[in-house]
Structures are given as C-alpha cells and as structure tokens.
C-alpha cells in the first residue's frame, strides 16, 4: 500500500530568472497526510503549483497517480485549494455558484445533473456552509470564504486534496470546522498534501512533514513534535552555508 499519488524527483523551477525550486524530491503515498512547511518565500506554493502544472518546471519529473503530469488528464481526482487571494471577481457570485465550478470536472460539457447539484450541496454541508448557499461570497468572513474554497475542492469527490495554507487568516471556529472536515476526508481514504505555516490544530492528522528552505528539502520525516527550539535536530548538516536567514525553520513553524 505504498502507491505514490504525488511524486516529484529532482524538480527545479525558475520564476523570472531566479531559481525558486532547486531540485526537490517529494513523495506522497496513498492515504498519507503530508505537511509542507517552511518560511515565507521558501518555495512551498511554487512546489505545490508545479504539481498541478501551474509552474513551468525546468528539470526533474513529476507524476500524479503514477502518470507523468504532462499526460495527466483525470483532474476530477484532484481537489485544489489555492493560497487565498483577496482579489475577487468583478461580478457578484453566490456560494453555490463558486462551489459548482469545482464540480465541472465531473460533468460532461458542463451540464449539471441532479447528482451534481447534490454533490455541491453535500460539499457545502461538509464545511458547514449549507445555510449560506445563496449568499454572495462578498458577504462572507475570511474563514467562511476559505471554507467555500475547500467545498469547491471537495465538490468533485477528489481522492487527492492539495491545499495551500488553508488555515491562514482563518478564525478559530472555521479552523475547527476545517480540521474536522479534513479528518473526515482522511478517514474516508483521501490523500492530502497541505502547505502550512504552523501545524496548529491539524497536528494530530499529519503523518509526515517536509520542510523547505530556499527551494531545497531540509527535512522529510515525522512532523516536528513540540514546536520548540530544537524542533529539527541535525538540519545544520543538510544545509550548512545557507546563511541569509539565520533561523528559517523556527520562523516557519512558529510565526
């Protein structure tokens, strides 16, 4: 049962002319919950976006469900929650309308059937937003908005969830809802790759943590336990000369 769902080998990526990923290896096996940690700017979002084909990769191999990413077409199996941006569309849209976009991959030519509408409703129930289904997303708080984006990712009943900082700027109540939703998904067999700034309430769920620094993998193993001073013993040997940020891991996990 160690079938890799996500596999990155020696992945490099440049944005502009700047190397952002400098040879990353990352594997997420079926049923695993992996947290991707690291300081701001360490390349977490870029790594995740390279998996879903949003960042051109200059070297290395990426596979999704055992298929080279360039040939991967089965996008309904992937649910993606982007790092939240404040920019909304220029036209009002309801919660249901936004979440319905996540179901498109399961429809033929975008025609919604009864089952599709039910799936959208169910996804909203999972994140506790069913009572706001007809409200405009502009009327939601940051945490509620994030729950809507997660419902959108869940609407296609994905086997793999990729979430970029789902807890950032989310109020405590929404954090608990998100943790519960994720727990249910994992119990149902979902594979999860999560970008996190700190482990927080999700800590008990996480099987493995991968820590990035300056576009390199610094640590890949059990999640750092008590987020204390010596969270990651031995990391000095991995990267002795990256001096520009004195304590990058601590900032990544604590701030």
Ligand X SMILES: Nc1ncnc2c1ncn2[C@@H]1O[C@H](COP(=O)(O)OP(=O)(O)O)[C@@H](O)[C@H]1O
Q: CB 102 → ligand X: shortest distance, Å?
A: 22
Residue 234's alpha-carbon distances to 22, 197, 215, 238, in angstroms, are 21, 21, 18, 7
By the criterion CB under 5 A, which residues form the site for Mg ion?
A: 45, 83
Which of 26, 47, 98, 120 is the binder for another protein (CB under 8 A)? 98
Residues 69-88 that bind another protein (CB under 8 A): 73-76, 78, 80, 82
- Dihedrals phi, psi of 210, to nearest 5 degrees: -120, 125
Quote the DSSP letter at residue 44: H
**Rounded-to-integer distance, Cα 220 and Cα 61, Å:** 19
Q: Identify residues 151-190 at the interface with another protein (CB under 8 A).
A: 152, 156
Does the CA dihedral 151-80-43-23 come out positive or negative?
Answer: positive
Min dist CB 13 to ligand X, Å, is 9
Residue 130 three-state SS: helix
Tell me whether residue 98 or residue 253 sits nearer to another protein (CB atom).
98
Residue 125-154 contact track with another protein, rule CB under 8 A, x = bound: ------x--xxx--x------------x--
Return the number of other C-beta atoms located less than 10 Å from residue 246's C-beta: 8
Q: Are 41 and 20 in contact (CB under 8 A)?
A: no
Residue with tokens 């009864």: 114
Rule CB under 6 A: say whether 233 interacts with ligand X.
Answer: no
d(CA 211, CA 114): 43
To the nearest whole angstrom, how small is the minimum distance from the Cβ of residue 42 to Mg ion? 9
Q: Give the residue with the Cβ less far from another protein, 107 or 251.
A: 107
Chain residues binding another protein by CB under 8 A are 49, 52-54, 73-76, 78, 80, 82, 89-94, 97-98, 100-102, 104-105, 107, 110, 112, 131, 134-136, 139, 152, 156
């Amino acid at each position: 049962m160690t079938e890799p769902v996500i596999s990155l080998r020696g992945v490099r990526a440049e944005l502009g002319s700047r190397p952002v990923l400098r040879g990353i290896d990352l594997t997420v096996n079926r049923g695993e919950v992996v947290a991707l940690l690291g300081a701001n700017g360490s390349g977490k979002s870029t790594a995740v976006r390279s998996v879903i084909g949003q960042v051109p990769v200059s070297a290395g191999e990426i596979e999704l469900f055992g298929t080279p990413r360039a040939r991967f077409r089965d996008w309904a199996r992937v649910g993606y929650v982007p790092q939240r941006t404040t920019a909304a569309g220029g036209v009002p849209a309801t919660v249901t309308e936004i979440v319905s976009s996540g179901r498109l991959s399961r429809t033929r030519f975008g025609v919604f059937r009864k089952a599709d509408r039910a799936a959208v409703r169910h996804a909203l129930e999972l994140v506790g937003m069913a009572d706001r289904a007809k409200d405009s997303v502009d009327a939601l708080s940051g945490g509620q908005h994030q729950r809507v984006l997660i419902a959108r990712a869940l609407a296609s009943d994905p086997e793999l969830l990729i979430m970029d900082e789902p807890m950032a700027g989310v109020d405590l109540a929404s954090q608990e809802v998100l943790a519960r939703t994720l727990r249910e998904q994992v119990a149902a067999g979902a594979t999860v790759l999560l970008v996190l700034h700190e482990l927080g309430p999700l800590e008990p769920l996480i099987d493995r943590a991968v820590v990035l620094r300056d576009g390199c993998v610094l640590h890949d193993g059990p999640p750092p336990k008590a987020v204390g001073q010596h969270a990651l013993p031995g990391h000095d040997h991995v990267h002795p000369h990256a001096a520009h940020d004195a304590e990058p891991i601590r900032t990544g996990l604590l701030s």
